[in-house]
Amino acid sequence: MDWLTTVDHKKIGILYLIAGGFFFLVGGLEALLIRIQLWKPLNDFVSADTYNELITMHGTTMIFLAAMPMLFALMNAVVPLQIGARDVAFPFVNALGFWTFFFGAVLLNVSWFTSTGAPAAGWTAYAPLSGPAFSTGHGMDYYVLGLQIAGIGTLIGGINFLVTIINMRAPGMTFMRMPMFTWASFITSALILFAFPALAVGLAALMFDRVFDANFFDPNNGGNAVLWEHIFWIFGHPEVYILILPAFGVISEVISTFSRKRLFGYSSMVFATILIGFLGFMVWAHHMFTTGLGPVANALFSIATMLIAVPTGIKIFNWIFTMWGGSIKFTSANLYAVGFIPTFVMGGVTGVMLAAAPADFQYHDTYFVVAHFHYVIVGGLILGIFSGLHYWWPKMFGRILNETLGKWTFWMFYIGFHLTFFIQHFLGLLGMPRRIWTYLDGLGFNEMNLISTIGAIMMGIGTIMFILNVVITNAKPQNAADDPWEDGRTLEWTIPSPPPEYNFKQTPLVRGYDAYWKEKMDGHKGMTPAEPIGSIHMPSPSILPFTMSLGLFITGFGLMYSRDWTFITEHIGFYIAGLGLLITFGSMFLRSVYDDHGFHIEPEELEDKGVKA
């Protein structure tokens, strides 16, 4: 019950981690099924239809239900601590964001258990394939409504972080003293704010096409299918930066901590992050070179895309210069961070190759593309998340993950990763198409696909080893020190692990970049407080975020079946949808009528009440 009503950002972080981790396993299982199907030519392990469902759900799940929530987990756990805040700006909205994501995710996955099956038009849901003419079952309805509901959660989560970072920094924490992870979270949140509403419109229009016979994307009724692509990618390309920037932030923190050096070129890192965020919005049509936009558009988007390599290169060199001459400690967290660098560089190089429009006509829809984006999102983002989890685990849970097992896990996952995807570059160059459920014998694809599948299984084993590590660690006592790596540089390491519910007994006074490190170098034991000990105002828990999201879930469910269910009267689905809206708006009404004054923690009771998990 405690977990259903919590508005504490640290607990919400843990909720995001559990839910996102669960969907990572689901998406991973889907990936393994795909790879098992492809391990030999003309395999009939799954049918063509099931295969389409598997790739669609794998891509959708990994991006929206696994990667984003795990990043939100880290952001929730760390950002308020890094800026010296007691809380986020909108604790209630934060909880609401989690629950809408969760119910949207559940709704999407319910589709597996329905008679018409899961969505099968690819995670990009290209029209008119995703329209009512070609996707006849309810699969795409689940996609449209599930993502719509989950997207609300992401959007309000992004606004929450923006306001928190702008308004709630501790005294002295200027923008140019903010840790890189917080900076990355800041830019990511801004991208979310400007990208997700476009997706919301696209999904709504597709929903209208499917449920209410609108004509947005159906060319037979005057609709425009390429319009869908524009809307999808004006969201979709920024989305990949929404994913990767926080990973960049993690890498900056981890490399600097374990090299015992200040991050090289801090201000150029900030600048590069902002520039990447900006350019991220300018390049969406590089996903559409083969749609026939014409040579001028292709050339412009091609050049704009290649420009992104410049700020990205700045970041890579700064990480390398940070390590240069540092006394590097290869903890598990740092292994992931160091392993990230060459992997991400490779993904970047193939990215520039794809950005050359004429070349893309050759690579398009082959395994070369699959190899490219997995180098970026698995070799970039997932390694970044693993790095961050090992690094902040003691802060989140008060226990250090087993280092030996952590290193074994890293090697298992890392080698498995390169086995899986390196070889796919060559499969692509040989012409193996993506999104096709099987291939013929004698094309020279057999051995490479087998190797790729073996690599995927190794990644699966690596993931299981990580879970094992979590279980083992959870059995240990909570005895992590405040600053367990002993080289902590930022504010989160100045408070107990796990932090008490109010984070900082006294708001710290920040006197420079790497605030804690600076105090250490000046010979101080901890931070100078910026205020006397006093009573602390806390928000009270509430069940309303849960019920609001539950209402949306019911609404989505009812809308989908508005035409099929007639067992009592016509349009039962609409009544169910109405009931759901009633629950949501009723909860909103309750929220606005009863003012939540929260409660105070008085100085006498300021002993540690850490997050229990």
Choose from ligand HEM, Cu ion, another protein, none: what does 251 bind? Cβ within 5-8 Å by kind: none
In angstroms, rounded to a whole number, what is the distance separating the alpha carbons of residues 41 and 133? Answer: 31
Q: Give the residue ranges of DSSP H helices in 65-171.
A: 68-82, 91-110, 139-167
Size of the site for Cu ion (CB under 5 A): 1
Give the 3-state secondary structure of residue 46.
coil
Kind and range of the H or E run holding 537: strand 536-538
User: 61 vs 188, which CB is nearer to another protein?
Assistant: 188
Give the 3-state secondary structure of residue 509.
strand
In angstroms, rounded to a whole number, what is the distance separating the alpha carbons of residues 290 and 273? Answer: 30
Q: Which of 176, 345, 319, 310 is nearest to 251 (CA)?
A: 319
User: 35 vs 237, which CB is nearer to Cu ion?
Assistant: 237
Distant-in-sequence, close-in-space partners of 511: CB < 8 Å, separation ≥ 6: 172, 518, 519, 528
Give one DSSP letter per residue of 389-425, joined into a string: HHHHHHHHHSSPPPHHHHHHHHHHHHHHHHHHHHHHH
Give one DSSP letter per residue of 160-176, joined into a string: HHHHHHHH-PPTT--GG
Give the 3-state secondary structure of residue 80.
helix
User: 237 vs 372, which CB is nearer to Cu ion?
Assistant: 237
Q: Would you tell me which residues interact with another protein (CB under 8 A)? A: 89-90, 155, 159-160, 162-163, 166-168, 193-198, 200-202, 204-205, 208-209, 212-216, 221-224, 227, 230-231, 234, 537, 589, 592-593, 595, 597, 600
Choose from Cu ion, another protein, ligand HEM, none: what does 456 bind? Cβ within 5-8 Å by kind: ligand HEM
Minimum distance between the CB of residue 333 and ligand HEM, rounded to whole angstroms? 19
As given in the structure block, the two tokens for residue 310 are: 């410049």
Phi (first) and psi of residue 366, to 5 degrees: -110, 175
Choose from Cu ion, another protein, ligand HEM, none: what does 197 bind? Cβ within 5-8 Å by kind: another protein
As given in the structure block, the two tokens for residue 263 are: 């991050």
Name the residue number minimizing CB distance to Cu ion. 237
User: 162 vs 254, which CB is nearer to another protein?
Assistant: 162
For residues 495-554, which are near Cu ion according to CB under 5 A? none
Choose from ligand HEM, another protein, Cu ion, none: what does 200 bind? Cβ within 5-8 Å by kind: another protein
- The residue with tokens 């979310």 is 192
Q: Which of 500, 294, 266 is nearest to 395 (CA)?
A: 500
In angstroms, rounded to a whole number, what is the distance separating the alpha carbons of residues 121 and 599? Answer: 49
Minimum distance between the CB of residue 522 and ligand HEM, rounded to whole angstroms? 42
Choose from ligand HEM, Cu ion, another protein, none: what does 306 bind? Cβ within 5-8 Å by kind: none
Choose from another protein, ligand HEM, Cu ion, none: what does 215 bind? Cβ within 5-8 Å by kind: another protein
User: 107 vs 243, which CB is nearer to Cu ion?
Assistant: 243
Minimum distance between the CB of residue 239 and Cu ion, rounded to whole angstroms? 9
User: 56 vs 76, which CB is nearer to ligand HEM?
Assistant: 56
Among 58, 237, 390, 489, binds Cu ion (CB under 5 A): 237
User: 162 vs 381, which CB is nearer to another protein?
Assistant: 162
Q: How many CA atoms lie within 13 A of 316 on its CB side?
A: 18
Residue 230 is a binding residue for Cu ion (CB under 5 A): no
Choose from another protein, Cu ion, ligand HEM, none: what does 105 bind? Cβ within 5-8 Å by kind: none
User: 314 vs 370, which CB is nearer to ligand HEM?
Assistant: 370
Chain positions contacting Cu ion, by CB under 5 A = 237
